[in-house]
Amino acid sequence: MPAFLPEPYAAYGSNLWRDQMRRRCPDAEVVGSLLLPGWRLVLRKYALIRRDDTADCPIGLWRITQADLDALDRFEGPRTYARILVPLPDGSQAWTYEEIRIRPGPPAGEYVRRLRRGYADFAFDSTPLDAAIVESGYVE
């Protein structure tokens, strides 16, 4: 049995898509989902979250190993996203990534499809994603 980290990983973008996470982090297991208060989903070239006291961002929670976290660090890139701990509503914390390099959008259609698949995998209301897509300037 893999040795899981005490903090889960909180996915808000394409890592919600289970097929993608299975390839990137083979030991990862879904442990739940929730609305992360005080954060809003934003979409430029890729997804990011931004602090916003008036918003809630849907996140999927994954139980991960150190090897999974190392893989996520490589995929998210040290010059693009910074790994941070965010507080969860129950008082615990989860790892996620905050964008540190602005990459203007809009996103590619293939990326939008991955986001939609992830939202479907977690049965999220698509309203926050749809709003972020519109704000990004993406046109289907």
Residue 89, domain member (yes or no)? yes
Query: What is the chain's percent helix, strand, coil content, to nearest 5?
Result: 30, 35, 30
Distance CA(23)–CA(76), nearest Å, equals: 14
Cα 42-27-32 angle, rounded to 5 deg: 50
CA distances from 93 to 81, 111, 112, 126 (A): 18, 28, 28, 25
CB atoms within 10 A of CB 67: 14
How confident is the model over 31-87, as pLDDT tens digits? 999 999 999 999 999 999 999 999 999 999 999 999 999 999 999 978 889 999 999
Residue 103 lies in a domain: yes
Cα–Cα distance, 119 to 80 (Å, whole number): 23
Instruction: Quote the pLDDT of residue 1.
Output: 77
Give me the domain span that covers residue 82.
Answer: 9-136
pTM for the full model? 0.95
Please give the pLDDT value at position 28: 98
Looking at the domain assignment, is residue 48 inside a domain?
Answer: yes
Question: Is 35 a member of any domain?
Answer: yes
pLDDT beyond 80 at 95: yes
Where residue 111 sits, what CATH number does that domain have?
A: 3.10.490.10
Residue 3 lies in a domain: no
Identify the CA nearest to 47 among candidates 134, 125, 123, 105: 105
Residue 34 lies in a domain: yes
Q: Which position has the higher pLDDT, 5 or 2?
A: 5
Closest CA to 41 of 30, 31, 50: 50
In a domain, residue 52? The reply is: yes
Number of independent structural domains in the chain? 1
Give pLDDT, residue 85. 97
